[in-house]
Amino acid sequence: MIVPFGQRLSAAVAERGPLCVGIDPHEQLLLDWGVGDSLDGLRRFTDAVVEALAGSVALLKPQIAFYERFGSGGLAVLEDGVARARAAGALVLLDAKRGDIGSTMAAYADYLRPDHPLAVDAMTVSPYLGPESLAPAVSTAKHHGGGLFVLARTSNPDAGTLQHATVGERSVAQVVVDTVAGWNGPGDPLGSFGVVVGATLPELDLDLDGLRGPVLAPGLGAQGGTVADLRRLFGTGRAVVPTVSRAVLGAGPDPAALRAAAERWAGELAT
């Protein structure tokens, strides 16, 4: 029996808390760790993060671009890390932000197939070729129990150039939220389709009440977001998955220090 991503996410959050840790091995971080900006350094970095966090954090979110820059060897490191993270009980959200049409989008969505070499639980996608462009990904996710997080209201400075544009009386960002809401069944305790909303926004200029799915909230830590910001924007009782990257990864390379950093954030989120 296929268990939908929304149910797996609910179970993981209930057991481990809502924290999602991004895995972003950019050049400076690899150098700061002393492992070197190389394929071997990438492997050592990924091994340490997975060892430290996969057994206790609900979600790990590797950014695929940092692995692609090392070519096929980098993707092999990612494949191995993802498989080991999932085997240790963490859900894996692939931060790929894919967006295209037709057979190309269907191919991107294959990351959600359990027989894919880089099989993950969920992935981030971009809706800016139109809502229908994501239909192949939605179909694949539903068939295999995967999840999608769709970019809706990001907090980069010029995001409003597009996201505040209007379609009729709604902003583009609101259209994205309403579209994703339609993919979630009304009877689901938590749907498998969510949106990305930045944790550093000055205010929440969206109506999320009908979403019935999770909200991925990046921006905690190094980007300036705080737990207080999460509560200010989203209140309580909503399925929010806050994301921390550099504020945890900067504690490496010692696995115990990485684990301690993640536990500090988990503790703040629990209070």
Output the domain CATH number for residue 241: 3.20.20.70
Between CA 159 and CA 263 the distance in angstroms is: 32
How many CA atoms lie within 13 Å of 121's alpha carbon, on the beta-carbon side?
24
Distance CA(218)–CA(93), nearest Å, equals: 13
Is 142 annotated as catalytic?
A: no
H or E stretch covering 120: none
DSSP 147: E
Pick the catalytic residue from 16, 84, 97, 238. Answer: 97
Range of the domain at 162: 5-270
Query: pLDDT tens track of the chain, all 271 residues?
Result: 899 999 999 999 999 999 999 999 999 999 999 999 999 999 999 999 999 999 999 999 999 999 999 999 999 999 999 999 999 999 999 999 999 999 999 999 999 999 999 999 999 999 999 989 999 999 999 999 999 999 999 988 888 888 888 989 999 999 999 999 999 988 768 999 999 999 999 999 999 999 999 999 999 987 888 999 999 999 988 899 999 999 999 999 999 999 999 999 999 998 8
User: What is the total count of domains within the chain?
Assistant: 1
Q: Which helix (H) or strand (E) holds 210?
A: none
Q: How far apart are CA 57 and CA 85, in angstroms?
A: 10
